[in-house]
Chain A
Amino acid sequence: MSRKMLVIGEARDGALRNVTFEAIAAATKVSDGGEIVGVLCGSENLEEMGQEMVYYGADRVVTVQNNKLTTYTSDGFGQAVMAVIEEEKPEGIIMGHTAIGKDLTPKLASKLETGLISDAVDIEETGENMVFTRPIYSGKAFEKKIITDGLMFATIRPNNIKALNRDDSRSGSVSAKEVDIADLRTIIQDIIRKTSDGVDLSEANIIVAGGRGVKSAEGFKPLEELADVLGAALGASRGACDAEYCDYSLQIGQTGKVVTPDLYIACGISGAIQHLAGMSNSKVIVAINKDPEANIFNVADYGIVGDLFDVVPKLTEQIKEIKVNS
């Protein structure tokens, strides 16, 4: 049964996030040949980003441009997307499970009185059902869910569902829709950028993470240098956050973020069960720890027993070298 699908796109620093393309791929799967309509909200011209969504598989894109949509607010984006939903009447909606996705989609689902499957890592058709797989207990277990009533509405975890290949010979309309946005009940006064190079933890392909073993805020320096040469995001264990070596926003684990990068480099992290829950589904794990008995070695693909302050700078140098030579 073909379904008309809506994909809510998301930009960061003026470019679409990769998870938007992954959401188009997910929607294509769920659509079973039905139309894929993208939606984009913002205060700038969204034409070019709309085109990009088409290249990645959207059939057409609706943009809502309004100066109340400069930064995301649940009220502003909620009204804009709801107007598009009311007009398009999709049978399903897919969005990335990002800060904005997590904030916006429950509001929409509640308004539409429909179900919502958050944080799907896989979607497959089994018999008559569209089955969504999602981690529970921070990845200690997984559940398969189906939607029994209402829209096929899901958010997808970044880095898990592969985007379709970009094809700039594809064409589709990008049309602007006027939406009146009523007063916003939450007003953003300021945004303080703390993330350095825009490599977001949840979308990062490589993560370099530090634990109590980094010993101080200063101790994160060598990890930052390694992250820099790898184009990686920086993460931390709860121990490092509690000890105030770094900000809580870096925390990975059962409280904190759950991540699934291609490569996870754990430096001076002992590997408490709560931390493992947040990262053990990473594709390749490297552990660097002084203690050969550390639990982290039980989940690591490759381990180096040694002092991170000795090992990490050498690793940085070595990687620099192969990057130069390749």
Chain B
Amino acid sequence: MNIYVLMKRTFDTEEKIVIEDSRIEEEGAEFIINPYDEYAIEEAIQLRDEHGGEVTVVTIGGEDAEKQLRTALAMGADKSVLINTEDDVEEGDQYTTVKILEAFFADKDADLILAGNVAIDEASGQVGPRLAERMDIPYVTTITNIEIDGETVHIERDVEGDVEKIDSSLPLLVTCQQGLNEPRYPSLPGIMKAKKKPLEELELDDLDLEEDDVEMKTKTIEIYLPPEKEAGRVLEGEVEDQVKELVTLLRDEAKVL
């Protein structure tokens, strides 16, 4: 089976956001594989181990993303591709990303594409469904279980807390939700092996794309931080009294009851 994973490099969830010159300051920040993409990588590896085939992890970004690709290879992916847009694309949106991915997948014979259901930075959740639509393949978002049984794919997806059991067929694109699996940590031998695994680097040129083809449809005009929340009141006295005071405050001061 030919399995692909769409991966994004994101800020570590521990990071505070700092804005410098109306941009998010990346200097000194730790980066990780988008946590939802980790589920996708783990699931891809498990499916390959069960059904055979190959896992290729694809990312769009700059040189820096090589580190996360190596991590994916160390987890057990077979190949990785960096579509390096550093020189060609100054700013892009989901339209841009999917234009590039569509071109990348044009000559691939993908049976299954896995992605995170959302990236924890921009959080649009658009790329998976958008790509499936361009490739004219079905998709299922926020999956929590997947089993491939010959031609049929049995899936469970999380829909705002309820579980939908869905049958579909390959080729298919799925986006992963937490609960799907427990992503493994790269092992030491895995890390050693990853150094020798293929990491292919492509640019827009290689995909027969011009900058104009991927011009974004939306534009960010401002980034700002929410006002810092001030610590409120810690109530005092007997628990009984504190609870009474709290209810009064919620009703009369905050007016939320």
The contact of B162 among A117, A191, A299, by CB within 8 Å, is: A191
Q: Does B111 contact A (CB under 8 A)?
A: no
Of residues 274 to 326 in A, which have CB atoms within 8 Å of B's CB atoms? Answer: 274, 277, 280-281, 283-286, 292, 297-306, 310-311, 314-315, 318-319, 322
| Chain A residues within 8 Å of B16, by CB | 140, 273
Contact status B164-A191, CB under 8 Å: yes
C-alpha gap A304/B141 in the complex (Å): 40
* Cβ distance A93 to chain B, nearest Cβ, rounded Å: 13
- For residue A110, CB closer than 8 A to chain B, the reply is yes
Q: A274 to chain B: which residues have CB within 8 Å?
A: 13-14
Q: Is the CB of A190 within 8 A of B35?
A: no
Q: How far is the CA of A116 from the CA of B128 in the complex (A)?
A: 14
Pairwise interchain contact B163-A191, C-beta atoms closer than 8 A: yes
Known A118-B124, A318-B243; contact A302-B217, beta-carbon cutoff 8 A: no
- CB-defined contacts of A170 to chain B, threshold 8 Å: none
**Chain-B contact segment, one of A58-66, A171-179, A208-216, A243-251:** A243-251
- A249 CB to closest chain B CB (Å) equals 4
**In the complex, B168 has a CB within 8 A of chain A:** yes
Check A106/B94 contact, CB under 8 A, given A118-B124, A318-B244. yes
Residues A304 and B224 in contact in the complex (CB < 8 Å), given A187-B167, A255-B35, A273-B16: no
Bound: A150/B180 CA distance, A: 36
Given contacts A106-B130, A110-B129, A304-B242, contact A137 B163 (CB under 8 A): no
Q: Is A18 an interface residue (CB 8 A)?
A: no
B residues less than 8 Å from A106 (CB atoms): 94, 124-130, 133
Among A141, A206, A256, A322, residue most surrounded by chain B Cβ atoms (within 10 Å): A141
Task: Give every chain B residue within 8 A of A136 (Cβ-Cβ).
Answer: 121-123, 223
Q: Is the CB of B160 within 8 A of A117?
A: no
Which A residues, 188 to 204, have Cβ-Cβ distances below 8 Å to chain B? 188-195, 200-202
Assess A115 versus B93: contact at CB under 8 Å? Given A297-B231, A304-B234: yes
Which bucket holds chain A's interface residue count?
A: 35 or more
Residue B179, interface by CB 8 Å: yes
Q: Does A75 contact B (CB under 8 A)?
A: yes
Q: Would A142 and B163 be within 8 Å (CB), given that A249-B158, A283-B256, A292-B234 are in contact?
A: no
**Residues of A close to B225: CB separation below 8 A:** 140-142
Which residues of chain B from 118 to 148 have any CB-CB distance to chain A below 8 Å in the complex?
A: 120-134, 138-142, 144
For the complex, would chain B's binding face be called helix, strand, loop or mixed by DSSP majority? mixed
A135 on interface, CB distance cutoff 8 Å: yes
**CA of A143 to CA of B218, assembled, Å:** 12
B residues within 8 A CB of A318?
Answer: 243-244, 246-247
The reply on B95 being an interface residue by CB < 8 A is: yes
What residues on A are CB-neighbors of B93 within 8 Å?
115
**Choice from B126, B223, B233, B242 contacting A301 with Cβ under 8 Å:** B233
Asked if A221 CB lies within 8 Å of chain B CBs, one says no
Asked if A322 and B224 sit within 8 Å, CB to CB, the answer is no
Point out the residues of chain A lying under 8 angstroms from B108, CB to CB: none
Please tell me if the beta carbons of B218 and A146 are within 8 angstroms of each other in the complex: yes
**A143 with B220: CB separation less than 8 A:** yes
Query: What residue in chain A is nearest B142 (Cβ atoms)?
Result: A99
Asked if A249 contacts B161 (CB within 8 A), the reply is yes
CB of A183, distance to nearest CB on chain B (Å): 11
Q: Please give the distance in Å from B34's CB to the nearest CB on chain A.
A: 9
Tell me, yes or no, whether B239 is within 8 Å of chain A by CB: yes
CB of A149 closer than 8 Å to a CB of B: yes
Residues of B within 8 A of A297 (CB): 231, 234
Are the CB atoms of B17 and A141 closer together than 8 Å? yes
Q: B120 touching A302 by the CB < 8 A rule?
A: no
Knowing A191-B164, A195-B160, A310-B239, say if A139 contacts B226 (CB, 8 Å): yes
Chain A contacts of B1 at CB under 8 A?
A: none
Alpha-carbon separation in the docked complex, A74 to B142 (Å): 13
Q: Which residues of B contact A125 (CB under 8 A)?
A: none
- Residues of B contacting A254 with CB < 8 Å? 13, 120
B231 CB contacts on chain A under 8 angstroms: 297-300
The yes or no answer to B19 lying at the interface (CB within 8 A) is yes
Give the Cβ gap from A259 to chain B, nearest Cβ, in Å.
Answer: 12
* A192–B162 touching, CB < 8 Å: yes
Residue of A with least CB distance to B243: A314
Closest CB of chain A to B90's CB: distance in Å?
14
**Contact A115-B218, Cβ < 8 Å, known A75-B138, A286-B250, A297-B234:** yes
| Interface residue? A22 (CB, 8 A) | no
What are 11 A-B pairs at a CB distance below 8 A?
A111-B133, A113-B95, A116-B218, A119-B124, A136-B223, A145-B220, A146-B218, A192-B162, A263-B257, A302-B234, A303-B235
What 6 A-B pairs come out closest when comparing CB atoms? A115-B217, A185-B138, A301-B232, A248-B179, A110-B130, A106-B129
**Other 12 A-B pairs with CB < 8 A, given A107-B132, A187-B166, A284-B254:** A102-B141, A106-B133, A107-B133, A109-B94, A136-B122, A142-B226, A188-B166, A255-B36, A286-B250, A301-B232, A302-B246, A315-B247
Binding site for A on B (CB under 8 A): 11, 13-14, 16-17, 19, 24, 35-36, 93-95, 98, 120-134, 138-142, 144, 158-169, 177-179, 215-226, 229, 231-235, 239-240, 242-244, 246-247, 249-251, 254, 256-257
